[in-house]
Structure 1
Amino acid sequence: MSGSGDPPRRGTKAFLAASAVAQICALARYTVLARLLGPEQLGLAAILILTAQFFESVTDSGSDRFLVQDKAGDDPALLRLTHLVSLGRGLLIAAGLVILAGPIAALAGAAELAPDIAVLAVAPLVMGLVHWDYRRQQRASDFRGEGRIVLVAEVVSLIATTGAALLVRDFTAILYGLITRALVTVIMSHLVARQRYALGYAGEYAPRLARFAWPLMVNGLLIFIGGQGDRILISNQLGVAELGHYSAVMLLIYYPSAMVMRFMTTMFLPRLAARKDEAAWDRAREALAGQTMLAALAMQFGFVLAAPIAVLLLYGERFEVAWLAVALIAILQSARFIRMWPVTEAMGLGRSHIVMVGNGVRLLAFPGAIAGLALLDGLEGIIAAFILAELIAFVLGLAMVNQAHRTPLFQGAARFCYFVIGSALLLAIVIAQKEAWWSVMAGGGVSLLVWAALLIRAEWPLLQDMLIILDRATGRRLLPVIRAAGRRSG
């Protein structure tokens, strides 16, 4: 919800719709590849995607977000500097992919990937020419430009990937999709721009951008290792086919959560960065915290119920996984999702080092995963270690943001406790079902109902605000009924 002092937001519905279509297209790409190619070829495609994400992460200066966050973001000189940085980044990634194609392929245990990794360099080279004016437009809460770019690029990329998969029948189909998406993104970014595209160095802004960027570049490496380390370890320890299985299931929750995360970050970052007054900041912060936690729990519980059926329907029996692994994947991704709360606040404050420190803590997952493999012997041990690291990183990030804003150190901890307790109850029920501990399962179910009632009571004001938005879209039919139910239960 926007407060009375917040600027009107334009294109939010279109941007949300475009984000939803983008994630549907991304999931459809993986579904097509899984159906046509199988786990091993899907695992090789996943290695190409991981390689692209690695180079993108370690070179991410955050210059496009700096346009939104910095007070001089509307100055054409800063936009020219952003374009110069973007072009340099594209050239650097492309050169790195070509030069290191052989070593990367050998490290992945798939030497035949070297030529394909070199071809992958075309995508970042093209992306270096993006016109970033659509980011500048978001300073005025105008999200229409990015919505159009995302919608067209993802749909065309899906068509290209599907066509290539039908023709070549191997993992290289993903290359056609990635290069097409980059090309269409660049074209669309120039079409929606309102300022002329130009490159230029701006001495007055470069030092500020450098101070903002260097923690994010270090952070990019940490994000990749922390966020994709589970797939790296699975590929290294359990094999490419197991990576294909895991990636297929993980992406069923990753894409919806990424859509919501991208939308919420795009909506909240300008409001937090504006910092007009304490009241506006507190409204934005409260809405971000509550919506993040509720969305994470909804995704987690929904995924555990729907994923086993969805895997069979979308991918077939070759990709079937145990319910316990599904529950752990759900908890892992929702734990990554809730970190958006302190991360977005830190970016709004301009404290990018907080994000870097939090991502550094996530590296605890690696020694934990080695221990998990020894104790639990398999996929579950790796995932459990990454869950624990994400939760520790969240607590540290929340404390650092609170300290930076001079609020109580653990403000918001109650919401985090609701998340942890709900996740633990869900996991207990799944384990009890697997071991046929029916009394434990019944007790967990009752505890879960009590927990849900307490959660709804604690978050009732926020839920009412969210229902107002829903009522506007449905003709104001739901809120009176739910309010009446709330009065009766009270």
Structure 2
Amino acid sequence: MQQVKAIFTGEGLLARALRSSALTVAGFGGAQVLRLASNLILARLLFPEAFGLMAIVSVIIQGLMQFSDVGVSPAIMQSKRGDDPAFLNTAWTIQVLRGAGLWLVACALAWPVAVIYDEPLLMQLLPVAGLSLLITGFNPTALDTAKRHLRWGRVTAIEFAVQITGIVAAVALAWWWHSVWALVVSGVLSAGVALVLFWLFLPGAGNRMGWERLAASELIHFGKWIFLSTICGFLFNQADKLILGKYLSFDVFGVYNIGFFLASFPMLLGHMLTWRLLIPIYRELPPHESAANFAKLRRMRFAVTGGLMALSAGFALLGVWLIGIMYDDRYAMAGAVVVLMALMQLPQIIVMTYDQASLAAGDSRRFFILTLAKAAAMILALLLGLEWGGLMGALLGYGAAMVLAYPVVIWLARHMRAWDPVHDAAMTALGLALAALALWLNGAALTDLAQLSGW
């Protein structure tokens, strides 16, 4: 126990990384338990169309955040001036202006989005949901400072408190209104609570409006590629909802989102771990500097990928059963979606530890090229899959997209001297064995999905 305590205490990179990993996993696990419980309650208080409508609103809001991301957070995390007050105030000023602009854009988009999806209610939902963008713009840079130094204790506690607040609000409002408005309003309330708690409880000097020319120049130079990267990242991560939301009825689309909700747990955890940990780790352990650094990164990579694949295996093998015990017959098709989506996310899990190497080195251009390739592959694969095989074809296309983009992953990782073919080959073999077992166990449900998709 003393040895374990020694490993987790102290201010070295390993201790901070392990503490951050433990906090991330614990926070994520608790958050997902709460998220699942609230989803089960809301599925009974609301109707499938509400989840379909909210999925469209969420995609638009997330899209606005990503389409306008100028890389303030990663710039603070990797810059040598990341602790300089003048640099931080300039970054915060950019962030506040961006938040105000995003809310205005959300209001402007309300009418065309309502016309595209033939749903007048979206004209009212989007401006209200967009208030969360305005509020988030005022979050203090103390949040980014905590990320920079791998100090996640208070951040995790605050995020947990915010989630509880949002869930309680969503359930109470859904019981009262029985409307999609419960989901929208609770999201805005959560953003407001997060803002207050971050300002009150995160250590560090408060921000104020300021503009330093050199700081702005550095932020803009680094952020121009991040801006383009986040547009592509949005298209890669949300293309399924944008495309399927147009081609499926809202009730079927709502069922799809229930299935995606469960199957996405491993990917959400993986993105959270890599975003929180890998820029600082790659910055302090550049793989090109020594074989020892590469060996440490290999051990980290196997641990992250192995853990996420084990979690995916649970959903791939038990997805139909989980949906059966948690939801009523209206959501039965979601079981097959869980199984297939869990399998189709495996290629992303295998390569997700490479992306941040370029950002840690300050090379946001190569990061953009990779995200562009991934977005193009995802859109192409989804459209071809829909054309060829309906919903099931689209799900298969989701998995094929990352396979198509893999050569670009290798190109980026080799340039950073981070590519590990031994890891990729071993995890691919494990993934194929898992896929064979999951398909054998859930063949009947997948056959039903194939028939519903017109096969």
AA aligned opposite 2:150: S
From 13, 27, 39, the equivalent of 1:6 is 13
AA aligned opposite 1:418: A
Q: Give, in whole Å, the separation in 1 of the partners of 2:378 and 2:387.
A: 14
Q: Give, in whole Å, the separation in 2 of the partners of 1:245 and 1:34.
A: 10
Q: What is residue 296 of structure 1 aligned with on the other side?
A: 308
AA aligned opposite 1:425: A
Q: Give, in whole Å, the separation in 2 of the partners of 1:338 and 1:96.
A: 36
1:379 matched to 2:383? The reply is no
1:221 matched to 2:231? The reply is yes
Distance 1:58 1:434, change over 3 A: closer
Q: What is residue 369 of structure 1 aligned with on the other side?
A: 382
Q: Deviations over 1:206-263 (max 9, x none)?
A: 2222222122211212112111111222221122111100110111122353134313
Q: Deviations over 1:405-461 (max 9, x none)?
A: 3x678564424533553354346535766799xxxxxxxxxxxxxxxxxxxxxxxxx
Task: Give the Å deviation of 1:336.
Answer: 3.2
- Alpha-carbon contact 2:67-2:231 (below 8 Å) kept: yes
Q: What is residue 367 of structure 2 aligned with on the other side?
A: 355
- Alpha-carbon contact 1:288-1:341 (below 8 Å) kept: no
- Alpha-carbon contact 1:272-1:284 (below 8 Å) kept: no
Q: Give, in whole Å, the separation in 2 of the partners of 1:199 and 1:435.
A: 55
Spell out the pairing of 1:266-305 with structure 2 (5 A cutoff): 266-275=276-285, 278=290, 281-305=293-317
Distance 1:275 1:125, change over 3 A: same
SS in 2 for 1:375: helix
Q: What is residue 112 of structure 1 aligned with on the other side?
A: 121
Q: What is residue 150 of structure 1 aligned with on the other side?
A: 159
- Alpha-carbon contact 1:292-1:340 (below 8 Å) kept: no
- Alpha-carbon contact 2:31-2:160 (below 8 Å) kept: yes
Q: Which TM-score applies when normalising by structure 2?
A: 0.87
Distance 1:303 1:122, change over 3 A: same
Q: What is residue 421 of structure 1 aligned with on the other side?
A: 432
From 202, 222, 230, the equivalent of 1:212 is 222
AA aligned opposite 2:290: E
Q: What is residue 204 of structure 2 aligned with on the other side?
A: 194
AA aligned opposite 1:105: A
1:44 matched to 2:44? The reply is no
Task: Give the Å deviation of 1:110.
Answer: 1.3
TM-align CA RMSD: 2.7
Q: Deviations over 1:297-340 (max 9, x none)?
A: 21221102222222133332210127653332112333333442
1:32 matched to 2:45? The reply is no
Q: Give, in whole Å, the separation in 1 of the partners of 2:437 and 2:234.
A: 28
AA aligned opposite 2:224: W
Distance 1:149 1:35, change over 3 A: same
Task: Give the Å deviation of 1:279.
Answer: 5.4
Task: Give the Å deviation of 1:165.
Answer: 0.7
Distance 1:433 1:313, change over 3 A: closer
From 399, 403, 412, the equivalent of 2:415 is 403
Q: Give, in whole Å, the separation in 2 of the partners of 1:299 and 1:15.
A: 15
- Alpha-carbon contact 1:54-1:224 (below 8 Å) kept: yes
Q: Give, in whole Å, the separation in 1 of the partners of 2:306 and 2:328.
A: 31
SS in 2 for 1:111: coil
- Alpha-carbon contact 1:290-1:415 (below 8 Å) kept: no
Distance 1:256 1:389, change over 3 A: closer
Distance 1:109 1:423, change over 3 A: farther
1:311 matched to 2:323? The reply is yes
From 344, 348, 353, the equivalent of 2:356 is 344
SS in 2 for 1:149: helix
From 22, 28, 45, the equivalent of 2:31 is 22
- Alpha-carbon contact 1:69-1:350 (below 8 Å) kept: yes
Distance 1:141 1:41, change over 3 A: closer
Q: What is residue 53 of structure 1 aligned with on the other side?
A: 62
1:258 matched to 2:271? The reply is no
Q: What is residue 167 of structure 1 aligned with on the other side?
A: 176
Higher mean Cα deviation, 358-367 or 76-85?
358-367
Identity percentage of aligned residues: 20
SS in 2 for 1:137: helix
- Alpha-carbon contact 2:385-2:394 (below 8 Å) kept: yes
Q: What is residue 92 of structure 2 aligned with on the other side?
A: 83
1:178 matched to 2:202? The reply is no
